[in-house]
Structure 1
């Protein structure tokens, strides 16, 4: 098997594509997992509830 530059570049591009697609799928599954709903809802509320107010 002869490994030249074009073959290695093609492999790297295709591997990178599948790697990014896999990581995006994992992130989407994690974000949509029902057990994480409470954690994400709490994070959304904490940002609104913890607004900075002027000091009196």
Structure 2
């Protein structure tokens, strides 16, 4: 049986082969930025902002 080439198949292949690795790379970059030791002080300060009385 021959596979039918449809727009859905083309879009699915494009997402699987092109966008998934890009989004995984973006996720890893964000995770690395958030867990980088140099950024700890800035994130700790931002976490305390709602508790401040001004």
- Does the pair score TM above 0.5? yes
Q: Which runs of 5+ in 2 are unaligned?
A: 1-6
User: For the residues of structure 2 that align with 1:37 and 1:27, how far apart are their CA atoms?
Assistant: 14
Runs of 4+ in 1 over 2 A off after TM superposition: none
- 1:16 corresponds to which of 19, 37, 48: 19
Aligned residue number for residue 50 of structure 2: 47
User: For the residues of structure 2 that align with 1:38 and 1:48, how far apart are their CA atoms?
Assistant: 16
Post-superposition offset of 1:50: 4.3
The answer to whether structure 1 residue 27 and structure 2 residue 33 are counterparts is no
Q: Figure out how many residues of one structure are paired with residues of the other and give that number.
A: 45
Q: Which runs of 5+ in 1 are unaligned?
A: 52-56
User: For the residues of structure 2 that align with 1:20 and 1:50, how far apart are their CA atoms?
Assistant: 39
